[in-house]
Amino acid sequence: MPKPIREGNGPRHVAIIMDGNGRWAQRRGRPRLFGHHAGAKRVREIVEACPDLGVRYVTIFAFSTENWRRTQSEVAGLMSLFRVRLDKKLVSLMDELELMTSGCTGVNLTIAINYGGRDEVARATRRLAQDVAAGKLDPDAVNEETLPKYLDTCVLPDPDLVIRTSGEARISNFLLWQSAYAEYEFIDTLWPDFCAEEFGRLVTAYGNRERRYGGVKA
């Protein structure tokens, strides 16, 4: 594991597109769901590595709105794996987990399930428009700082670093608004092989980048 980065020099919020579980399993002659189980174990390892690296927030892309198009067996297995679905019983399990960990202050883990960036922005825009129509918001006062207050992630800082595993170089509708100025790392490693050491290298490399946010260095 690389040495911890200097405080304030590394990413506070890392978002991860965990890709490659199915391919990892298929290369081993196993069903795709076997890869998802292996990938779930990696989540814990990565989250546990965060405090020493100065990472306070982690958002993982577990299941997108587009993933419902997969086979019924894979979708059912994923829903069981992440213990979440839109039915009340499984949602209550997530609520219970949030309550149990509400006093924890080390790392804030957000799991994006049934999530799509365009859908999120559309819903946020609709809520904003409703407030304008109701006279709660002056349309002339709307700027780029207004919409984030209506996003699902309004309680989180924007991600500083976005990592996608498996060799795919696209963002797949993930945190579209929030990642406007994030640094990206597209790596070939399949998610079940993505270890804490590699994660540490990426976090440390971020700390060495020059962040100008569209400006120029004086």
pLDDT tens column, 53-92: 999 999 999 864 455 444 555 455 555 555 464 567 767 8
113: pLDDT strictly greater than 50: yes
Give me the mean pLDDT over the 46-57 stretch: 96
Alpha-helical runs (H) found in the chain = 21-26, 32-53, 72-81, 88-100, 117-133, 196-207
CA–CA distances in Å: residue 37 to residues 27, 47, 80 = 15, 16, 10
31: pLDDT strictly greater than 60: yes
Give me the mean pLDDT over the 26-53 stretch: 92
CB-based contact 151:121 (threshold 8 Å): yes
Instruction: Let me know if 19 is a catalytic residue.
Output: yes
Dihedral in degrees, nearest 10, Cα atoms 78, 80, 84, 87:
120
* Stated pTM of the model: 0.82
- Mean pLDDT, the chain, whole residue set: 85
**Active-site annotation holder among 21, 52, 67, 208:** 67
Give me the mean pLDDT over the 81-109 stretch: 75
pLDDT band at 26 (very low <50, low <70, confident <90, very high): very high
Residue 208's pLDDT is what?
84
Residue 1's pLDDT is what?
46
Give me the mean pLDDT over the 91-112 stretch: 84
CB-based contact 62:82 (threshold 8 Å): yes
Instruction: Let me know if 67 is a catalytic residue.
Output: yes
Residue 96's pLDDT is what?
85
Among 23-32, 72-81, 192-201, the minimum mean pLDDT is found in: 72-81
Find residue 163's DSSP bridge partners. 16, 185
**Active-site annotation holder among 19, 21, 108, 158:** 19
Residue 212's pLDDT is what?
62
Which carries the bigger pLDDT value, residue 82 or residue 98? 98
